[in-house]
Amino acid sequence: MTAGAAPAVTLRGIVKQFPGVVANDHIDFEALQGEIHALLGENGAGKSTLSNIMTGLYRPDQGEIYVHGVPVAFHAPRDALAAGIGMVHQHFRLAASFTVAENFALGTHESRGVRLELGGIERRVSELAQRYRMPVNPRARIWQLSVGERQRVEILKALYRGARILILDEPTSLLTPQEADNLFATLRLMSAEGRTVIFISHKLEEVMAVSDRVTILRRGRSLGTVLTAATTPRELARLMVGRDVVFSLKPEGHTVGETVLLELRELYAESDLGTVALHGVNLQLHAGEILGIAGVAGNGQRELAEVITGMRPRVAGSVAVAGIPLRGADPRQAIDLGLAHVPEDRLGTGVAPSLTIADNLILKDYRRPPITTAGLIRYDRVRVRAGDLIERFDIKAVSPQTPTRLLSGGNVQKVLLARELSGSPRVLVAASPTRGLDVAATESVRSLLLQAAARGVGVLLISEDLDEILTLADRIAVLYEGRVMGVVDRAQADVEELGLMMAGSAR
Amino acid sequence: MRIERRLTTPRWLRVVVPVASLLAALVLAGVMELATGHDPIATTSRLIDRGFFASGALSATLVTATPLLLTGLAAAAAFRMLTWNIGAEGQLVMGAVGASGAGIFLHDQAPVLIIPAMMAAGGLTGAAWGAIPGLLRAYFNTNEIITSLMLNYVAGLVISYLIFDSHSYWRDLSTFTARVFPQGKYLGPAASWPALGAGSLVIPFGFLVGVVSAAGLFVLYRYTRFGYEVRVIGDSRAAGRYAGMRINRKIVAVMALSGALAGLGGASQIGDFRHVLDPRGLQQAGYGYAGIVVAALAQLNPLAVILVAFLLGGLTNAGYSLQGPDFPAGLVGILQGLILFCALAGELLVRYRVRFRRLMVAPA
């Protein structure tokens, strides 16, 4: 970034209200030409609303937008695009069965007559890809690409359409660390060319690593903009959540029991595509223990969680809870044996999204008294339970009758944990329990896991976040291509060695 | 103009939108009438008068509303779990077969025995017919829309076979005329369902059965464990599996329940109105398909189904009695189609808001 650079986008006094919430409350924001500007805030701070306003998806109730000093009014994303603002959404907007080049052609009006001039597009895609070091085969179909590649396609698409200002909404949430580093390099290339990058994130490390300046949002308000070089992660965290965050939550002096609560023997399972996903997994989980399953996404973590909880049939091997063997593919038996499960897909699997919070809180024990007597659900008791758990687990909701899908990600996770932990489980299988959550919610989820372990619950913590595992787990098992590469005590854990195991180098 | 998703839906909208949709449909039908050279106001007022206000109109309306009520409930019961039973038509026909079979078999018994037996037989055959696509869906993952629809045609062939192409138990072979011109056996007077009179109004027994079924379905889905499971599965199948619900069994059960309601409609056709297994009459009416319209308009609420069935019954009934040179025969069908169309469009307004703004071009 050059000092005294001209402003690229300026927002003044932006107000956007949704029923019951002021998502943006008089926000001022300015991103300069050629800078990487991070927009930092927790879930629900108003980051996405603000970026949707900048890209014409929403219209502000009040306030002005200037692009390169000229006032603009966007009515649709294509107006923003015409002004040079492109967006890469967290969830990609690509047609899966089309090729990369065909996706570039979508929504543009370049072809003459009925024939698509794909050859020209392919050439220009390749040029762009080379220039920004984002290798992509323009003839590949989207469904064949990895998540990281799809993101490259999205970024290239925005550049292809002439974006001088690029907004990325939590771009690293689905990427491996290596892919994230490549992305950062690309972003630096673009800013060096004078393009403006607005980078939405709630991860402090990456904001520190990649941005020139940071604007912090909290509860719909802007707390100001600081130079990244002149701040610290601790200060940013404090601004973001409004108080000091405890980063380490190491359980102190708690002892792991002797009893084996969960035992996996020679477990084999298939992925959805029919490939071998688990390859002879042996693990033991003790009472009061947090066993972390580390690994790069897609190495069998999902299948492991699903096989244990009965959501996926196993091909061979055995699963036993407190010594009692599980029949295959029977979630009900797993529940009855005290196996709690926080699934990766919270909204959709972990809760029924349109049902109320109260209804979702009985999802695991609706079948039994006291909730059901004589085939009738006792809604009086359901209400009492909901009120109690909402208070105990500090769930932020208008009422127990609110549809669960209207809650923020952190509160959905609290609903899930409230239900799973209040059922006094023996074992808790938690799959990526803090993914996508903001700092405060992450912290409360982690302390709930620690409390559960302290009460003697065996916790199987599956996470792609190695730091999280190092913070919480007593022992760490590394999963690579469906095999356990090794199990180490946290006390003896060496990050480098874990990294090697995650990359497939056997110990 | 922009369409934005609503985050919350105000309660009044849930009432205003269906009513407005109904009015919009009447206006659109008026345009159709104008285009074909009829006076829309006169036609509409005649339609409403004949449906609800003329002497004897209400009783006739209830006759049409009864099967619509039961097939409407059948559709609502299934659709609530996103199980798409399009087969109420065939389930109603099979219910009529079962009920008339029971009626013929028990012809010399007392009404106290025959009538419940007819209801049970109609409900069970309808349930069995509905369970077929349910089983196929649950255990072979076939599309229940297609299988239940196809079974409508099979049911039509079964009933034709029983009366026209065979010497079946249902066919009247007692006289020479009956052997030449095939028809079903008449059920005895003991098998006629009692009609309840209130002044000049005659309420068919089947309508009361429908009202009780609606209340039962409402309670079942709102207050019971079964209903809770249906709501969870209807919202997210994955969440249902996660909670340990036996989803396959639930699909079969809901399809059977839906079929049983339609089958009751068939039993009422025999017991209340026809007293004979009448292939042509049962199929011409298309009650099964109209039930889908009823359920959609009632937004799958069993209690609202009662009201909607009554209103649509009135329109259909008025259409029958007004048919003639000055009244286009297809009008009621068109009107029904328009009502459904407007109601579905109205759904959009419940979930989205439309905003009008002046268009400006953004300066680059």
Specify the number of domains making up chain B: 2
Say whether pLDDT at A159 is over 50. Answer: yes
A171 and A304 in a single domain? The answer is no
B13 and B130 in a single domain? The answer is no
B211 and B81 in a single domain? The answer is yes
Of A494, A452, A449, the residue nearest A476 (C-alpha): A494
Mean pLDDT, rounded, of chain B: 90
> Where does the pLDDT of residue A388 fall: very low under 50, low under 70, confident under 90, or very high at 90 and above?
very high
B263 assigned to some structural domain: yes
- Greater confidence (A206 vs A4) lies with A206
Say whether pLDDT at B291 is over 50. Answer: yes
Mean pLDDT of B303-314: 93
Q: What is the pLDDT of residue A249?
A: 53
Say whether pLDDT at A421 is over 90. Answer: yes
Say whether pLDDT at A106 is over 50. Answer: yes
- Residue B156: both structure tokens together: 């039509």
CA distance B340 to chain A (A): 25
- Residue B116: both structure tokens together: 């419940």
CATH code for position A433: 3.40.50.300
Q: What is the pLDDT of residue B363?
A: 42
Angle B91-B92-B95 from CA coordinates, rounded to 5°: 85
A108 and A228 in a single domain? The answer is yes
Q: What is the pLDDT of residue A246?
A: 46
CA distance A80 to chain B (A): 8
Q: Quick one: how far is CA A331 from the chain centroid? A: 25
CB of A398 within 8 Å of a chain B CB? The answer is no
Look at A80 and B363 and tell me if their CB atoms are within 8 Å. no
Which three-class secondary structure string do you get for A403-428?
A: EHHHCCHHHHHHHHHHHHHHCCCCEE
pLDDT per residue over B189-224, tens digit each?
Answer: 999 999 888 788 899 999 999 999 999 999 999 999
- Burial of residue A211 (number of CB atoms within 10 Å: 0-12, 13-18, 19+): buried
pLDDT per residue over A143-154, tens digit each?
Answer: 888 777 888 899
pLDDT per residue over A336-381, tens digit each?
Answer: 999 999 998 888 899 999 999 999 999 999 999 999 999 999 999 9
pLDDT per residue over A218-249, tens digit each?
Answer: 888 898 999 999 988 778 877 876 654 444 45
Instruction: Name the residue type at position A446.
Output: R
Q: What is the pLDDT of residue A182?
A: 87
Q: Is B16 helix (H, G, I), strand (E, B) or coil?
A: helix
B214 and B305 in a single domain? The answer is yes
Query: Are the C-beta atoms of A390 and A417 separated by less than 8 Å?
Result: no
CA distance A350 to A360: 9
Comparing alpha-carbon positions, the chain A residue that sits nearest to B8 is A19
B5 and B66 in a single domain? The answer is no
Q: At what angle do helices B247-268 and B144-164 cross, to 10 degrees?
A: 30
Say whether pLDDT at B360 is over 70. Answer: no
Say whether pLDDT at B7 is over 70. Answer: no
Say whether pLDDT at A172 is over 90. Answer: no
Say whether pLDDT at A1 is over 70. Answer: no
CA distance A421 to chain B (A): 15
A270 assigned to some structural domain: yes
In degrees to the nearest 10, what's the CA dihedral of A21, A26, A31, A32? 170
For residue A104, the enclosing domain spans 7-241
B235 and B221 in a single domain? The answer is yes
CA distance B234 to chain A (A): 9
B217 and B73 in a single domain? The answer is yes
Q: Quick one: how far is CA B124 from the chain centroid? A: 17
- Greater confidence (B329 vs A152) lies with A152
Mean pLDDT of A443-448: 91
A211 and A70 in a single domain? The answer is yes
A408 assigned to some structural domain: no
A285 and A215 in a single domain? The answer is no
- Burial of residue B253 (number of CB atoms within 10 Å: 0-12, 13-18, 19+): buried
Instruction: Name the residue type at position A246.
Output: V
Q: At what angle do helices B144-164 and B111-140 cross, to 10 degrees?
A: 140
Mean pLDDT, rounded, of chain A: 87
> Where does the pLDDT of residue A273 fall: very low under 50, low under 70, confident under 90, or very high at 90 and above?
confident
Q: What is the pLDDT of residue B361?
A: 45
Q: Which of A4-8, A100-104, A171-175, B291-295 has the lowest mean pLDDT?
A: A171-175
A227 and A285 in a single domain? The answer is no
A367 assigned to some structural domain: no
- List all residues of chain A from 14 to 33 with a beta carbon under 8 Å from chain B: 18-20
Residues of B in contact with A71 (CB under 8 A): 363
- Burial of residue A409 (number of CB atoms within 10 Å: 0-12, 13-18, 19+): middle
B45 assigned to some structural domain: no
For residue B356, the enclosing domain spans 1-38+328-364
The minimal CB distance from B236 to the residues A56, A72, A348 is found for A348
- Residue B204: both structure tokens together: 């068919």
B296 and B150 in a single domain? The answer is yes
Q: What is the pLDDT of residue A504?
A: 67
A116 and A202 in a single domain? The answer is yes
B44 assigned to some structural domain: no
Q: What is the pLDDT of residue B356?
A: 67
Q: Which residues contact B253 (CB under 8 A, 6 or more apart)?
A: B134, B226
B337 and B256 in a single domain? The answer is no
Mean pLDDT of B99-115: 94
Q: Which of A72-76, A171-175, A206-210, A485-489 has the lowest mean pLDDT?
A: A171-175
pLDDT per residue over B108-138, tens digit each?
Answer: 999 999 999 999 999 999 999 999 999 999 9
Look at A82 and B364 and tell me if their CB atoms are within 8 Å. yes
User: pTM here?
Assistant: 0.75
Angle B24-B343-B76 from CA coordinates, rounded to 5°: 150
B273 and B176 in a single domain? The answer is yes
Specify the number of domains making up chain A: 2
B270 and B364 in a single domain? The answer is no
Q: Quick one: how far is CA B336 from the chain centroid? A: 13
Query: Are the C-beta atoms of B2 and B319 separated by less than 8 Å?
Result: no
pLDDT per residue over A461-471, tens digit each?
Answer: 998 777 788 88
Q: What is the pLDDT of residue B358?
A: 53
Of A206, A275, A18, the residue nearest B4 (C-alpha): A18
Rg of chain B taking only CA atoms, in angstroms: 22
CATH code for position B259: 1.10.3470
B97 and B124 in a single domain? The answer is yes
- Residue B186: both structure tokens together: 């008449």
Q: What distances in angstroms separate CA B228 from CA B81, B225, B241, one per listed residue?
A: 10, 5, 14
